[in-house]
Structure 1
């Protein structure tokens, strides 16, 4: 009787080096899972083989070399125990190691067939299962090697094997024990192949989806780099005209004609305020690009940073009703740079554009995460926008070039190991929830975007 150990692949992972050497991190985890599945299925095969030996010897009274077959099973059990101990500690699986594991299954099947009739054993066709496993899981050369080795083993069994003491009576048709064994072998082969191949194809589709997502992320990050270069260049070019305007406004403010008119003097002062804000924006762009204008990241607390951020944002926005709740405990240290500040401002600005009459900003700590929640009473997100949330130029404002704010928010949060989730409120409006790991903004690491 034969030993069969089909390689049952987890539906979410396929070992990359055996199919397409693309993502090492995904491949390593997938290879380890497959090796674990192979170990588990080998246990099932050993148990099934023992049950088969007991059944054919006790029910059909067929004589088998029990001692020799038990030795083969003992070796497989010892190999499986060693494999379990090894792969329980070591998580990386190399291509030769998986190839060797499949060779062990082929060798076990060959030896058990040798002691049970060789090629005349109807279960000899289970070699096709091993070939199919190799064709799906191994590289081209490895798959051909498994096919060649199984062919050599089958040829050797046709020449040398211990005779099987059973009535070889194919002329009895379906009543023949040999025909029944062939039908059972075909059922096993067909069932396991359908089950195995369908799961492999599902795994390949999932893996392709993961790779497509990684490629999309790479494209988005390249898009951000281009935007950063353009923004940095624009900031450099804006420096000179802004400085010139600052000097001109200072001269205007000292002119007697303007000083005599309080309204004009107030307007010049407002222009200087807005000009100072423009300089601050330019400084923020250069700071994010690593070219500071004198400012730098400061050590502070999460609560203090958010309080200051909200105070500055409210001073430059005429929101009618603004609800702010900061539930972060005092003294929690952090290092924030301008990128994080601008990310939160973008979320607030988008909510303000949708709902200038009312806005709510909540901050709280959830274990090791910082959770920031911005709510508004605007029209909410369209279903199509929610489905593409965080994609560039996905905006309901209907204007060219819009939608980049939330795109940058999502990518900055992802770079920090966090996430951004958007949903519509049942009572109207929308909620954008931003989650950041506290480890990415602690006082030891700072923020690296």
Structure 2
């Protein structure tokens, strides 16, 4: 059962386009801050430092930003989310307005030239790569242009404020490097955050689905138990009616049909779940039973699954938590997917801890991705052979990430390794030659407390 494939598709349906995450209100607020900062800088430079600035053109440039903000506020609703094109156009306007203002105030001799990095950083965090490359390229062109052509800053005595050529060249280079570095850095961080967010969403959906399946099993079990007595009564009475209506074949046939339908109801309930109460006893099971339950969907896929449970004393009773079942099931699925013929599930228990190893006889984890196992969306094992063996499978990264996240919630520690050197020949490789996933719990984390008697049936709500 490949639940993570369904979860991936479902989480993708909830995921908006990248630009749709960016609200117009955010960029409006950012533009207000920039406009007030630009006005303050112009006033201080002209009044306090008595610099000769083309204030008319400078206020015109700031006024353009203010007008654009006012139009955006009056035309669009506050909850407007920008499309890719709209977000890129907005950031491009901010970049052009800032560079025009820098052109009027000394170009790269103006220390506020550093602010050209802001639109590129926002684009790298929220927009697609194509938009970021376009914006970054234009930013580099604008920076170069205002470095070569600008209205110089004039001091109070009319002299031109100049910086050493080496300093101007170094500042230009630093801006270009900053555009590239901050763009790449911001995009990398934002991408990893989005991947982690998507993976955690998929994990929550997987856990919710497993919880629903567990709850459904409890409801069916409770229904089978509660309906057992009335169905038995119906069957008993219908059998007596058949004997008493022997002289009336038509009525006897109806009574026989009632008995058959009662038997059918009993069989349907048994096929849907085990009879019993939805009580505390059903929330725990032996370690062996839990392992078999987790691996059950993958034991009929042509790969032999071998279970070994050993330890001191009786086999412990563990909590049948949905995250435990689903996490182990994903690990078993990954082992079966890549095994050649066998998968071993070895469990060892002591009074202090429970250790589980899942080993397959496949090729093992590729060395280049071994350190990244457990991160979401690792697809390096998806080669041409995988495409033929597992068409439509989304890769091992999300499944193992879900398994690792869910099992760590139960208090487990996971480690991933290979059972043999992947560069050995077929004749030199041992039988257990594939990947090893080791899961270790402190006993107190998953052992169930002793429960006596049947608990009360829980009311069914919702």
Fold match, TM over 0.5? no
Higher relative contact order (CA 8 A, sep 6+): 2
Name the TM-score class by shorter chain: 0.3 to 0.5
TM-score by length of 1: 0.43
